[in-house]
Structure 1
């Protein structure tokens, strides 16, 4: 019996099973590498756009395409009574890691009425920890009462989390509220005001207002993707080795039984 027949023809079930394991492991490994490459490319693009001149929110009606991932300064006055606290947001962990990586809290979204314009721009002012004893108790945060200048990065939204349907009760827009996700278009309808089609994620300025703004770089998690890719490739290789070694053993046993070896 030749080696080809012993490894493949006589072991069709084992060959098909091994092929599936190898194909799945290889495909998943390549997918993880692609994910890492995508994050690196996005981070490089974001870095390049942030090196461009700083925009001014009051200089015209900016579109999302014009300002996306660009630095921008907005001057105006906060409207704290319309603030939205986005729940279930993990604590931002800057490059290099840190403690309490799994701590949950809020992103504070607050509208800023632009100076000299009848327009509002929403600002992601930062992250604050949640009270574990009373989920409805909002963190103490300082909000300037007068005109302020806010520098941030323009994004389409502050990020989304999984949500099990929308609440059915009426929304009271006259006081701060806790939400799972943020919808720019919905907020414009609720308040009836003109607003920019983007949000500003405020950068760290050293302001002690009770909020954390050490935003993690987009390349966070790249090492994890590489580790996952290695595991999937290792699984594919182990599947091939298991198929090959068990086939060779069966081949040698058949040779011994048939008297082909001493």
Structure 2
């Protein structure tokens, strides 16, 4: 009786000494490296979603406001999205064609022209909308309305600096085909005083396809990416736990008397 009781106690003590979780060194190192990365990527996507929501909310607020004159922008630190009222004439002699603009799978350009605002006596680079490329060897055809015009648009500030190079300001002939808009460089070239930002015109008889996307990637897509990163992190951790429990169970079965 004492021997059987002693053996039972010895078996219990042996089970206690055996580890219940044995994932292995390599899986542990992999989890320690990858799990924080996956979680941080998910958190970063959530923060980007919040930034996009704030941007959309601010843009909606500014779009609901009445348009302001050009001179009112001088006291605004960040005029992005503000509606502005213009009264003056277009300069048909110095047009810019912004290349690499795709709409519905078709290549095209955005037409930008200097506009002299009479109230502020300043120049504004206005974006009149998108035009399709008929042929890369042929410039898209467009016309420029004459006379005094009353236009309304919104100030556009690109998110971050572009990595593309702008066209050579000294290229011969107008319109200039460019890959990035640099309004201050244009005003310096033309020796004019103008607004630093471009103004994207609202749809009117004087615009072409004036449909402007506020952001390339909406908040919902960032949330979707965050869910994917968190799901990968959860799957990785679940596999790690499963592997550790399985290895420990197999070790107990392989060495029942250890």
Same topology, TM > 0.5: yes
Tell me the equivalent position of 1:107. 110
- Judging changes above 3 Å, is the alpha-carbon distance between structure 1 residues 224 and 104 closer, same or farther for their aligned structure 2 residues? farther
Tell me the equivalent position of 1:56. 69
**Distance in structure 1 (CA, Å) of the matches to 2:49 and 2:218:** 8
1:127-165 superposed Cα distances (whole Å, 9 cap, x missing partner):
12223xx324222223212211110011335986542x4
- Cα deviation for residue 22 of structure 1 reads 1.5
SS at match of 2:38: helix
**Distance in structure 2 (CA, Å) of the matches to 1:105 and 1:35:** 30
- Judging changes above 3 Å, is the alpha-carbon distance between structure 1 residues 251 and 18 closer, same or farther for their aligned structure 2 residues? same
Tell me the equivalent position of 2:145. 144
Spell out the pairing of 1:110-125 with structure 2 (5 A cutoff). 110-115=113-118, 118-125=121-128
- Cα deviation for residue 116 of structure 1 reads 5.0
Give the conservation status (yes or no) of the 8 Å contact 1:84–1:108.
yes
Tell me the equivalent position of 2:225. 228
Point out the structure with max Rg over C-alpha: 2
Give TM-score, length-normalised by structure 1: 0.81
- Judging changes above 3 Å, is the alpha-carbon distance between structure 1 residues 166 and 76 closer, same or farther for their aligned structure 2 residues? closer
1:18-58 superposed Cα distances (whole Å, 9 cap, x missing partner):
1222211111111111111100101101111223332122x
- Cα deviation for residue 62 of structure 1 reads 2.8
Give TM-score, length-normalised by structure 2: 0.83
- Cα deviation for residue 254 of structure 1 reads 0.4
Give the conservation status (yes or no) of the 8 Å contact 1:83–1:176.
yes
- Cα deviation for residue 236 of structure 1 reads 0.6
**Distance in structure 2 (CA, Å) of the matches to 1:253 and 1:66:** 64
RMSD between aligned residues? 2.6
Give the conservation status (yes or no) of the 8 Å contact 1:157–1:182.
no
**Number of aligned pairs?**
241
Tell me the equivalent position of 2:6. none
The answer to whether structure 1 residue 252 and structure 2 residue 253 are counterparts is: no
Spell out the pairing of 1:32-43 with structure 2 (5 A cutoff). 32-43=45-56
Tell me the equivalent position of 1:135. 136
Q: Which runs of 5+ in 1 are unaligned?
A: 92-99
- Cα deviation for residue 90 of structure 1 reads 2.9
Tell me the equivalent position of 1:192. 191
